[in-house]
Structure formats: C-alpha cells, structure tokens
Amino acid sequence: MLFMTSIALVVLFTSYCIYYTYKRREQLNCMSGMMISMTIGMMSSISLGAILGVLLNRDLTFTTIIAVTSGMVAGYLTGRPITLMAAMDGIMAGVMGGMMGAMLGVMLLPNSSNLMILFVDLIFVVIMFLLLQLIDEESGASKKEVEPVRKPLIANPIFLVAIFAFIGVMAWGKYGQVEDTNSGQQNTQVQELATGNYQEATITVDSSGYGPENLELKAGMPIKINFKTGAGAGCLRQVVSKELGINTILEENTNNFDMIGPLEPGVYEYTCGMGMYGGKITVK
C-alpha cells in the first residue's frame, strides 16, 4: 500500500506539473523551460526509480528501464511545448535521475526501505510544490491575473500534510511486520534443527564476494548454512535468492546461520541485494 500510494503521488504530481507548464508555455522563455523540464524529468525518475527498486524485488534492470523511460517522457512532454532545447534537457535529466533512483532503491535494506521511500516522497512533493511557484513567477501569472488562480487539491498544503500523515502511518506500521517475519523464520529454524539429520556448510562473505563461488551439497537433506561475514561486506550483507527462499540481512563480523529445507538436485543461485555479487549451490 505504501509503495502504490507513493507511485500514485509521483504520477499525479508529475502529470499536473506537465499540464500546468503547458498552460503557461507562451509566457515561459527558453531558460525557464529548461529549468522546469529538468526538474520534472529528474525528480519524477529519481522518485519512481527508488520506489520500483524496492517494489520489484531489487531488480536493477527493469527498474532502471522503467524509471529512465518515464523520466525521459516527462522531461520531453514538459519542455517540447516551450523549445526543443528545453525538451532535450528534460530528457537527459530523466536519464540521469532514473539511473540514480534505481540504484538507490536496489541498495536499500528491507528494514530501512519504508522510511527512505517516505523521505523520497517528501523531497519530491516539496520540490514539485516549489516548482509550481516558480512557473507562476516566471510566467508572470500572479501579476497578469486580477482574480486569484484556484489551484487543484493536490497543490493545497493542507492536502499535502494529510497525504504525508497517511503515508507516514503506513511506513511505521510496516516495521513491526518485518520484525515479526524474521522472528517467525528463526522459530522455524529452531524446530528444524531439533530434528537433526542435516548437513552443514559455510560461506564466507567479505568485500571480494562470496566463497566458495560454487558450493556442492547432497539432495534430500536439510541444509544449515553459516554465512560468515568479515569486514567491509557492504551490500553483500543482504543475501537474496528466490529459488532458496532467502532474503536475509547478515550481521557484521560474525556467524549467521540460515536453515534451508531439503532441495531437489539442481543448481541454485543467490546474490547480494544489488545483484552484483553472487554464488551457486549445486545439489546432487
């Protein structure tokens, strides 16, 4: 719910800012158009990239493609009605923002992602709200119109406060669920260990990666894996594998035990949170 609300917020504000710029395109010069299109392209792609990086299970490829594409479209649609130069600046800002936002979302650890997404939402709305004031100032709307312009609900500060209060409640509520899930996994591991008849293996985790790169184990037996972390593990502390059902944050400079149920013969892969480092478990 938190992430879907954040996406809706980004899409809604971006669409309105593009429309608001289009309405005042004749009063905006090239320099103003460049600044406006760059801001919209950059902020929309950064925010969307950070959100999708977490929502899409930290898949850097698709997150980057979606965030960059959306930022380019937003920048082009904002700048093209003013000048082609403004459109080009918006496109380039969308490319840079999409890549940065995607990397940010992929690098976020599960226990801090909700708070970070809330912070990104806050920065996005503040900047876009100031951008609306800039458009008014540069287009001279406040001087030329005798009657005050009625802004839509999304530009109302009271509405924004209410939105962030709602998102904040959801963000803080998620922390308890994450902790409960981890404790449940630990209880399950204790029960499985009590039955005995499992095989043990150790995987070292340090700045150079995971070792050994290919771990060979027997099929049909539960596996107790010790992810032994060293100094400077960085993003390698998060171990992710859909095949093995692992999404674990390792403690630094210590032993980290994880219990895996009996596996069928085959090759199972795991990676760090960013997908840059990984290893294999071959079950025979």
pLDDT tens string 205-232: 887 788 888 888 888 888 888 988 877 6
Q: With a cut of 70, say whether residue 194 has pLDDT above it.
A: no
Burial zone of 36 (CB within 10 Å; 0-12 exposed, 13-18 middle, 19+ buried): buried
Q: Hey, what are 69's tokens?
A: 């594409």
* Long-range contacts, 167-175 (Cβ 8 Å, 24+): 167/2, 167/5, 167/6, 167/9, 167/118, 167/121, 168/118, 170/1, 170/2, 170/5, 170/114, 171/2, 171/114, 171/115, 171/117, 171/118, 172/114, 174/2, 174/114, 175/111, 175/114
Whole-angstrom Cα distance, residue 250 to residue 202? 14
Report which of residues 5 and 39 the model is more confident about.
39
Q: Hey, what are 258's tokens?
A: 């994880």
Summarize the confidence of residues 145-164 as an average pLDDT.
50
Whole-angstrom Cα distance, residue 269 to residue 145? 63
**pTM tops 0.85:** no
Q: Hey, what are 135's tokens?
A: 């458009």
Whole-angstrom Cα distance, residue 238 to residue 251? 9
The H-or-E segment that residue 215 falls in is strand 214-217
Indicate the DSSP class of residue 255. -
- Helical H segments across 56-112, by residue range: 60-79, 84-107
Strand 257-260 versus strand 223-229 pairing type: antiparallel
Per-residue confidence (pLDDT) for residue 260, from 0 to 100: 86
Whole-angstrom Cα distance, residue 22 to residue 20? 5
Alpha carbon distances (Å) from 72 to 13, 90, 120, 206, 277: 16, 7, 19, 38, 30
Residue corresponding to tokens 């709602």:
166
pLDDT band with cut points at 50, 70 and 90 for residue 152: low
Q: Which residues pair with 168 in a beta bridge?
A: none
Q: Which of 107-121, 157-171, 183-197 has the lowest mean pLDDT?
A: 183-197
